[in-house]
Amino acid sequence: MKITVEHCDTPENEVILRCRELDEEMLHILALLRSGMQSLCAFTEERETVLLSPQEVLYAESVEERTWLYCEKAVWRTALSLSELEARYEALGFCRVSRSMVVNLHGIRQLKSCAGSRIEATMRNGEKVMISRHYGPLLRERLGM
Partner 1 sequence: MKQFLRFYAWGMEVKLYMSIYTAAVVFFQGITEVLQGRYAISVWVLLEMLLVSFVFAAIQYVILPAGEWSSRGRLAAWAVCANVLYIGSALVFGWFPGVPLWENIVLVAMLEVSLWAIWFGKQVARWRDTRALNRSLRKFQQEG
DSSP state of 39: P
User: Using the rule CB under 8 A, is 29 a contact of partner 1?
Assistant: no
Tell me, by CB under 8 A, how many residues bind partner 1. 21
Helix, strand, coil share of the chain (percent; to 5): 30, 35, 40
Stretch of residues binding partner 1 (CB under 8 A), selected from 15-23, 35-43, 71-79, 100-108: 100-108
Compare residues 77 and 142 and give the one whose CB is closer to partner 1. Answer: 142
**Which positions from 105 through 144 interact with partner 1, judged by CB under 8 A?**
105-106, 108, 110-119, 133, 140, 142-144
> From the CB of 114, what's the least distance to partner 1, in Å?
8
Where do runs of H (alpha helix) occur along the chain?
24-37, 82-89, 136-142
Stretch of residues binding partner 1 (CB under 8 A), selected from 43-51, 56-64, 78-86, 104-112: 104-112
Distance CA 44, CA 16 (A): 37
Q: If phi over 0 gives left and psi between -120 and 50 gives alpha, with beta otherwise, what is residue 102?
A: beta
Give yes or no for a contact between 97 and 129, defined as CB atoms under 8 angstroms apart: yes
**Which positions from 57 through 96 interact with partner 1, judged by CB under 8 A?**
92-93
* Residues near partner 1 (CB under 8 A): 92-93, 105-106, 108, 110-119, 133, 140, 142-145
